[in-house]
Amino acid sequence: MRMSKLYLPTLKEDPAEADIKSHQLMLRAGMMRKLSPGIFSYLPLGYRVIRKIENIVREEMNKTSSQEVLLPVMQSSKIWKESNRWDKFGPLMIKFKDRKDHEYCLGPTHEEVITDLIKDEVRSYKDLPLNLYQIQTKVRDEIRPRFGVMRGREFIMKDAYSMDIDYEGLDNSYQEMYDAYVNIFDRLGLETRVVKADSGAMGGKDSHEFMVIAESGEDDIAVCDSCDYAANTELASSYQEKEIIDKDLKERKLIDTPDIKTIEGLEQFLKIDGSKMIKTMLMKADEELVIVLVRGDDQLNEVKLTNYLQATNLEPASEEEIVEVFGVKPGFIGPVNIEGYKILADHRIKNIRNAICGANIEDKHYGNISPVRDFDVDQYIDLRTVKAGDICPECEEGKLDIEPGIEVGHIFKLGTKYSESMGATYLDENGKAQLIVMGSYGIGITRIVAAAIEQGNDQNGIIWTKDLAPYEVIILPLGKSEEVDNTSEELYETLQEMGIEVLLDDRDERAGVKFNDADLIGIPIRITVGSRSLENNVLEVRNRQTGEDFEINIDNYEEEIKEMLSELE
Ligand code: ATP
Ligand code: MG
């Protein structure tokens, strides 16, 4: 491709709207432009990278038993009502009506479409297992679209769905996809870590995420420093102390805490550590008000609470609701003498003795509060988010580290959630109807572009791996000279004939501009053609990945370039 013809609007400065490296660089390198928040147009360079990722994913998927299909973006509310997710999916789903007043959504995921597709076609156990995948645009009205394609509202996903006769079949299908994902991320040159994951709105049991470890990651991963336990902190747990620490219960007392409404405020005022306090929260799960207790030094894990309550929406209750339940404003609430509401407490509350908690009286807290004697709990569950330094729940020895990660893939064992609600059955060997057992498997194609750039960049721009680079080689003719132009043209033709993807910077630009753009767009091999080096019969070559410069003999450049390409990562 000739750069004079390429639609490549590069930017010199980092755009103010972009706050992470990949977002800045995708805009600066002319890979994409924003239409609306979280909605992008992909320009030629950006789309080439997307196609490369798609092709690697497609090739690896085609090596499995999965077959490629293309499912609709526009989906009738009927199938979503059958699966009971029309309301449950919440505001993430874009809904609208057609001219006949029928309700539709723009597909945020395709479990419903796939189940509807196969339910009348797959009749017998002989038709199973079946695995179908597609690479397609998904639409989710994300509350906080940000970081460019990392969290878009319209993005490309590869999603696959497996259908089996039983759970053993599902285990095999899941393993086949798991292995394919390992190969895919390996070929994409992404260093990923597989972690246990929450299955969220998808339902089902086992679930794993493929995470790229990166500073800009929006997920937190808990990793054991001695065994291979790794889990998203959305569901990660820590070792539970089994013994009840039985200390003498001291007499309850009322403490003046004027205008002190936070754990930090109490820590300073009372000179007592948060671990000796009970944090009381009122949460609204759909329409139900639930009182939640965690230790003062812990954070409530809303994913765990949502899953336990099987709620669609979980939010903190309003101030009015707090006053209604506790008879006092937020900041002084506690579980003592509260009746008529469900009280859920984290396991660690069971072991707390002589603690501080709100007294349900303005400007007052209680001291020496203990469970059972002072308040009742309906259920103790795991409700806290793990912290760095916690003991690993699996080996019960190692300590957990917390690392930021970018979720690039997610696989789920769905089980029979969709086949049951939507009536997808097959006839077994005895002619008896059985539910199809399903799995679903996603990879964020456009998010991978950003993740790859987060892993590969420097102060000058993007550093692509060989397989993702939009072009493999860029030729920079420098200065105005017929010889330079002719040699560059000849190089351009020859390399293309060799099957190499080449960019020729034939723009009438200064050398500095050409060098900067070549670095910015990150093409792995840069060949500079200048009068002086031609006099010496050499070409100057730079490896963008290592920063190394070489001079190669012009009579033998084909071999040299081929070798350099084969050595790229
Ligand atoms: P997240 O937790 O990041 O919101 P999710 O768990 O809701 O993602 P899945 O339903 O598991 O996402 O989707 C499969 C894959 O699609 C994810 O692993 C991710 O790579 C990608 N993906 C999901 N949401 C987005 C988005 N808003 N923008 C870009 N890619 C996304
Ligand atoms: Mg996910």
- Greatest CA separation found in the chain? 96
Mutation pick for ligand 1 pocket among 407, 408, 441 (CB with most ligand atoms within 8 Å): 407
The protein residue whose alpha carbon is closest to atom 13 in ligand 1 is: 442
What is the CA(298)–ligand 2 centre distance, in A?
Answer: 25
To which residue do tokens 């409700």 refer?
Answer: 383
Which tokens in the block code for residue 198? 């929450």
How many residues can be counted in the chain?
569
Residue 448 and residue 325: Cα distance in Å, rounded?
47
Q: What is the mean pLDDT of the chain?
A: 95
Q: Residue 455 carries which side chain, given as an amino acid letter?
A: Q
Are 254 and 366 contacting, i.e. CB atoms less than 8 angstroms apart? yes
Give the helix ranges, DSSP H, for 72-190: 77-82, 111-119, 167-187
pLDDT confidence of residue 206: 86
> For residue 457, what pLDDT is reported?
96
Per-residue pLDDT at 242 exceeds 90 = no
Confidence label for 201 from pLDDT (cuts 50, 70 and 90): low
Domain made up of 471-567: CATH architecture = 3-Layer(aba) Sandwich (3.40)
> For tokens 């977002």, what's the residue?
23
Q: Looking at the CA of 109, which ligand is closest?
A: 1
Q: What is the pLDDT of residues 533-555, one digit of tens each?
A: 999 999 999 999 999 999 999 99
- For 429-481, the pLDDT digits (tens) are 999 999 999 999 999 999 999 999 999 999 999 999 999 999 999 999 998 89
Task: Give the per-residue pLDDT at 138.
Answer: 98
| Residues in contact with ligand 1 (CB, 6 Å cut-off) | 109, 140, 142, 151-152, 155, 157, 407-410, 442, 444, 446-447
| Closest ligand 1 atom, residue 409 Cα | 18
At 438 the pLDDT is: 97
Q: For residue 21, which of 271, 277, 211, 216 has the smallest C-alpha distance?
A: 216
- Can you give the pLDDT at residue 248? 87
Question: What's the rounded mean pLDDT across residues 38-59?
Answer: 98
The residue contributing the CA closest to ligand 1 atom 29 is 151
CATH code 3.30.70.100 for 21-236+402-453: no
- Say if domain 253-381 classifies as CATH 3.40.50.360: no
Span 223-239, mean pLDDT? 95
| Range 325-329 average pLDDT | 96
- C-alpha closest to that of 278 among 205, 216, 357, 344: 357
Nearest CA to ligand 1 atom 19: 444
**Could you identify the atom of ligand 1 that is nearest to the CA of residue 202?**
10
Q: In 3-state terms, what secondary structure has residue 558?
A: helix
Scored b (16 or more CB within 10 A) or e, 65-88 reads ebeeeebebebbbebbebbebbeb
CA 117–ligand 2 middle distance (angstroms)? 23
**Tens digit of each residue's pLDDT (9 = 90 or more) over 266-285:** 999 999 999 999 999 999 99
Pick from 261, 202, 195: which is nearest to 404 by CA? 195
Look at residues 545, 508, 546, 552 and name the one whose alpha carbon lies nearest to residue 528: 552
How far is the centre of ligand 1, averaged over its atoms, from the C-alpha of 205 (Å)?
18
Question: Is beta strand 502-504 parallel, antiparallel or unpaired with respect to 473-477?
Answer: parallel
Residue with tokens 């009205």: 141
Token couple for 249: 């219960």
Would you say residue 491 has pLDDT above 80? yes
* pTM metric for this prediction: 0.90
pLDDT band at 58 (very low <50, low <70, confident <90, very high): very high
For 227, 524, 565, the CA distances from 396, given in Å and listed in that order, are 9, 46, 47
Ligand 1 pocket test, candidate residues 140, 406, 443, 447, most atoms within 8 A of CB: 447
486 CA to middle of ligand 1, Å?
A: 49
The model's confidence at residue 361, banded by pLDDT at 50, 70 and 90, is: very high
Which sequence spans correspond to the domains of the chain?
A: 21-236+402-453, 253-381, 471-567
**Which pLDDT value is given to residue 68?**
98
